[in-house]
Structure 1
Amino acid sequence: METAENPGTYVKDGQEFSRDMRYIPSRITKDGRDGYPVEAGRYRLVAARACPWANRAVIVRRLLGLEDAISLGLCGPTHDARSWTFDLDPGGVDPVLGIERIQDAYFARFPDYERGITVPVIVDVPTGQVVTNDFPTMTLDFSSEWTEHHRDGAPDLYPDAHKDELDEVMDLVFRDVNNGVYRCGFAGTQESYEKAYDRLFARLDWLSERLTNQRYLVGDTITEADVRLFTTLVRFDAVYHGHFKCNRNKLTEMPVLWAYTRDLFQTPGFGDTIDFDQIKDHYYIVHSEINPTQIVPKGPDLTNWLSAHNREHLGGRPFGDGTPPPPVRASEAVPALM
């Protein structure tokens, strides 16, 4: 089954959307038990600004200060039925991997690879082979296995004291929100669409209530749970409200979640990874089954992302005992909101 971040037919008539979660399970660990030891400079994270699952990895890499340890390659926002492409790079070739399509890294390790060609993906640069595309484990490993290469002041995004609660909250957010918007957008029946729609907004209401009196999802600092929720909410009005028919409310009409998302957007490491033009181009051009004209909406207005969120009164320490990441590198900067 194709997923939203790999090529293929997304809407299956008469069927409920089901995400294929069979990702490549190899892990990069301190002990190298899968054959891939933590080693600065050896691996390349390949992502796309458009993709919310890849956006997670880009944010966590930046918050932890892993830029020197793990290089970043970026695919363009649109692709054909074969694979994500490096059309943002000169000549359409990734300057480190020397390939035009990320599928080449998959096939270098698995010549008969039949599942989705997804991002984010980590590639072993010396061999040019994919290591893993297991996005939920990838970011947790950035926190736990790459500690030797974290920047001074890096936050603890997966603190031991809150792991059980984090796992529970992240599971609910994934099922009903992160994947829920896709279950709406790629529903093949009216019944499956309405079921997903109801679950999505019931969970958003639950999150609104949870965040009314606390600044972050779990504890009083930013954690992995906030990263995972943010990448869906930041795309909500630009894409999911209209394109995926998640139209009970816009994010801007849900006061608590709108303020929460702006709070994160204005936090170093979050908003400075977001390119709204690439996000819209991907969804409205690639998903031609949903949007056959491939016309990309001109809106929404983005200037309100920088308006005051007024959530400081809830307390909380965004980075705990740590510090904000330094300014984003020029080579990885996104267009600034005017």
Structure 2
Amino acid sequence: MDQLLKLLDLLSAESFQSGQYLARKLGVSRASVSTWVSKLQALGVDINIIKGRGYRLVGSVDLIDQARVVSSLEVQTRVQVSHIDVKGETTSTNDDALASLYNTSAWHVYVTELQSSGKGRRGKAWSSPFAQNLMFSMARKAHISTEALYSASLLAGVAVANALNMHCGLQVGLKWPNDIYMDNQKLGGILCEMQGNPQDEPLLVIGIGLNINSSPTGLDYATCSLKSLGVHRRDRTTLLACIVDQLVKIFMQDSEDQVAAALAQWQEYDILKNRDVTVTRGQHVSFGKAQGVDSKGQLLVLGESGKVELLNGGEVSVRW
């Protein structure tokens, strides 16, 4: 994949590049260039090929620019982030984060243009076309308060919602515990994982997927993307930096009162509150009315019996 990215860097939407030129720049044979072009086309990259002239991109390809991510971060964020890794392809950015070594309490950021085994909640796969959307994970091994750990998905949701508002002017909504919605359509999702003892210095991994230029189809719920919503500012690099800024900022507020304040902000984004919902846990299905979340980030559901039930994230599905 790294060679494919190097080839993409050499290709241009402005003019044709000959196979001989590309082979010389990459230090490979013209046959290898032809093979790599075919692989890029299989990934959905539109390349015009004319015999005797060479190869030309049909439109530009917006790759995540690692250097520009760093330069776009706020100064106070840069000192909190020690590692930003951008790959062409990986199995899962959450898996990359979980497998890495952490020698400091700084944040690590793992980004990819393509995931072969991306993860969603409840064991579902998360897939996305090459270089079209945002798929990344942020991870930190440090002492984190119990309140922040167990509300991590909700705090991350607030950070993403704030970033989308700042960067794109979108007033998105959040669906408990980890989905980003716009106009009743899913725009993205969050998957938090933890490794280690919560009382010590656990590793917290926050995986985020956002639909920027495309959204999945054939699902049992509606989806959207920034493109389908008509958002013109869709630069994935600067949006990534903005989200990293907001995530670092919200997790620096680690006292019980500060977490409670962030959860109060989450309530402002809550799209489930006062809706009739269906709650599925394994084979058990129940019905009720969503009542917001408590101070621990648990969803409150007023059941048909009149009793309020507390729901943790876990293996619970909530639909309206």
Shorter chain as denominator, the TM-score bin is under 0.3
Larger RCO, structure (CA 8 Å, separation 6 or more): 1
More strand by share: 2
- Tell which structure's C-alpha radius of gyration is larger: 2
TM-score by length of 1: 0.24
More helix by share: 1
